[in-house]
Structure 1
Amino acid sequence: MKFFPLFTCLLFGSAVTTLGQCTVTKDGYGQVITTCQVNEYASGNAPLNKQVTFLGSEYISFPAFQKGRIRLDQSGQELACQLAYNVVSHEVLYRFADDLTVKTVVPYAFVLNGIEYIRQSKSAMGINYTLYTTELSSGQTKLLKSLKGRFVKTPINNGYDKDRPFAGYYQVDQRYYLQKGDAVPQPINLTKNALLSVLGDQKEIIDSKLPNRQLTVEQVIEVVRLYDSLTVSNQLHSTSLSTDAAFREGLRLQITYPVQAWNAQVYARVYVGFEITEAGQLATIQLLSPENVGYGFGQEVTNALSKLPKTKPEYAGRYALPVTFTYTTASDKFVPVNTLSADLLKGRTVLSEFVVNQKMGKDGAKNREVWGYYK
């Protein structure tokens, strides 16, 4: 079966191998294989034409093009077409039955072999890229999975034909994410520690339900359902910013324990005021509690709030967010006791306290709470 051409370069010592047009077929043993015509260029020699075969292909299905549907935006209409999904590049290719011209598209969603894939925008090292995830569990908190293919250049033996080894193979890895409400999906491993890092606001209950080993997908789904039953079911009809999953997740991602405070073995509680406009923008962010000069607590929270995206317009109003920085040692946990007086919080809705805990490896005897002073 002839298929979409693939061009790439592989280096083998001093020679350069250029792949020409490739075809994806099944061999006599039912294995999906990719066969390419190559030209090898060695120093001072004429090009040598030959054929190489790889096990597997870049595409999620065979044949690569299957009947499917695409949705260009979230509220758009689904279009029936033939689709191919490249799990190496995350490209989606499509063509219509009356026009076999192959085109590339970046849809909001597509359905292939009965499975829906939703677009997620990610960023790594300043580079934005697109991947597609499938839902493994529904609900307010979702377990998502993506597929990431890669080409492994290592030659391997053909299990059926020992005289014709493969020059390499395509490997597809599964990656998992947790998404709270409309927040950005967070990558996780299927381990207890990874789940607790994302679902830490219900740590005490969830911790007792998880074994200290690699988890199955089914176990993670059960934990996510438990988490929703504990915290999210009351949020579905709530208009409180305190219980907004995306807002709380944004705080978790942006606020960390300041390094200078960690080194000084100090802990604190800070209050930061802000407004939400009728357009859902966060504005007028200011420190309400005394400034902890030199430790960075107040700056950490104000900077975090300035980076949060727009929220729901129905949250419009004036708010105060208390953030508690605590730390624990092997033998104790240190929690600040100072609070801001009600007079200084008048006219603001005081949100539920957000806690940032840091485990310390230092002697707890030197610990102290800082509260600062008003200028």
Structure 2
Amino acid sequence: MKAPGYGIIALLTVAASFCHGQCIVSQDQQQRIVTICQSYVPPNGLLINRPDRQQAKTQTVFLGSEYLTYPVWQDGTLEFDGQTRSIACRLAFNLMTNQILCQFPGDSVVREIWPDAFTINAMPFVSQIDRQGKRSYFQVVYNGKTRLLAHYSCRFRREEREPYSPELLFSGRYEQRQRFFIQRDDRSLQRVTLSRKSLLQVLPDQSGKLPGYLTKSKLDLQELVDALAYYDGFH
């Protein structure tokens, strides 16, 4: 099931709002991540995934992917409270549904799993449970006395063609989002952006050292990590 100009990397069965069928996450000739979905449309226009002589196969291409990594499946480990050993597993992290999908070595079954922590492609994640009991996962970007966590999410946006405009290359796009949080002494998470002002608002510093250390108004991620390491050095 290979579409011209695309290399098939991961075959996934999905039941999303836009189709029922099989989707492939791949790269196009310009090295963009794309999701290619194939479905079958019967005469009444309803989408189903069982072909027969009365159905026409359609292909829809979306820019991006709802999964954290590319390729979708990556080596990883699972961790559960009360267990001393991590469990090796091939993992896929769906950012739209917050699902961790696992395929154990030698097993063809894909399982949905809810670990307390996991790693995927050498990226460590921990879970946080909110007041409603909902579990979310955060990447541990920096793990000192002060922790920097990153939360990933994804939304789907359908593209609409304007009258008399050229044909759309993509029928929609997945837009991934990353937000950062700081946690001190296992307390609640505090949102922080990549800016001097935001960091100083989140971190109390009676010594006055941190404001002098931060000379730029805008920070990149490494500069934020370096600032936290500096802050941990005198707190």
Aligned with 2:109: secondary structure? Answer: strand
1:31 and 1:219 mapped to 2: Cα distance? 28
**Gaps (5+ residues) in structure 1?**
10-17, 157-161, 232-375
For residue 21 of structure 1, what is the amino acid of its counterpart? G
Q: TM-score, normalised by structure 2?
A: 0.77
Match of 1:90 among 93, 98, 107: 98
Question: Tell me, what secondary structure is at the counterpart of 2:37?
Answer: strand
Q: Partners of 2:137 and 2:206 in 1: how far apart?
A: 29
SS in 2 for 1:193: helix
Distance verdict in 2 for CA 1:115–1:28, change over 3 Å: same
In structure 2, the residue matched to 1:322 is: none
1:99 matched to 2:104: no
Distance 1:5 1:185, change over 3 A: same
Whole-Å separation in 2 of the counterparts to 1:134 and 1:53: 29
Q: Which has the higher helix share?
A: 1
Pairwise CA distance, 1:167: 0.8
Report whether the alignment pairs 1:7 with 2:12: no
The separation in 2 between residues aligned to 1:210 and 1:74, in whole angstroms, is 41
* CA displacement at 1:40 relative to structure 2: 7.9
- Structure 2 distance, partners of 1:212, 1:40, is 56
Query: Is the 8 Å Cα contact of residues 148 and 174 (structure 1) preserved in structure 2?
Result: yes
For 1:216 and 1:26, the matched residues in 2 are separated by 28
- Which one has the largest radius of gyration? 1
- C-alpha distance 191-29 of structure 1, shift in aligned 2 (>3 A): closer
- Determine helix, strand or coil for the equivalent of 2:208: helix
Which residue number in structure 2 is paired with residue 299 of structure 1? none
CA distance in 2, matches of 1:186, 1:75: 29
Q: Which has the higher contact order (CA 8 A, sep 6+)?
A: 2
Q: Residues of 1 paired with 2:201 and 2:188: CA distance?
A: 15
TM-score when scaled to structure 1? 0.50
Distance 1:29 1:194, change over 3 A: closer
Match of 2:21 in 1: 21
Aligned residue-pair number: 212
Q: Secondary structure at the match of 1:116?
A: strand
RMSD: 2.8
Check conservation: 2:197, 2:217, Cα contact below 8 A: no
Residues 1:60 and 2:65 aligned together: no
Q: How far 1:104 moved relative to its partner?
A: 0.6
Is contact 1:190–1:215 with CA below 8 Å preserved after alignment?
A: yes
Residue-by-residue CA offset, 1:321-366 (whole Å, 9 max, x unaligned): xxxxxxxxxxxxxxxxxxxxxxxxxxxxxxxxxxxxxxxxxxxxxx
Structure 2 equivalent of residue 210 of structure 1? 214
**Unaligned 5+ runs, structure 2:** 1-7, 47-55
Which of 118, 143, 153 is the matching residue for 1:138?
143
Distance 1:104 1:151, change over 3 A: same
> Deviation digits for residues 52-85 of structure 1, max 9, x if unmatched?
1101211122332222211122644211121111
Q: CA separation of 1:206/1:62 partners in 2, compared to 1, >3 Å: closer, same or farther?
A: closer
What is aligned with 1:362?
none
Q: Which amino acid aligns with 1:172?
A: Q
CA deviation map 1:281-340 (0-9, x unaligned): xxxxxxxxxxxxxxxxxxxxxxxxxxxxxxxxxxxxxxxxxxxxxxxxxxxxxxxxxxxx
Are residues 80 and 186 of structure 1, via their aligned partners in 2, closer, same or farther at CA, if it must alter by over 3 Å? same
**Which residue of structure 2 aligns with residue 119 of structure 1?**
127
Distance in 1, matches of 2:152 and 2:109, equals 26
Match of 1:46 among 44, 47, 58: 44
Partners of 1:219 and 1:95 in 2: CA distance: 37
Which residue number corresponds to residue 31 of structure 1?
32
Amino acid aligned to 2:23: T
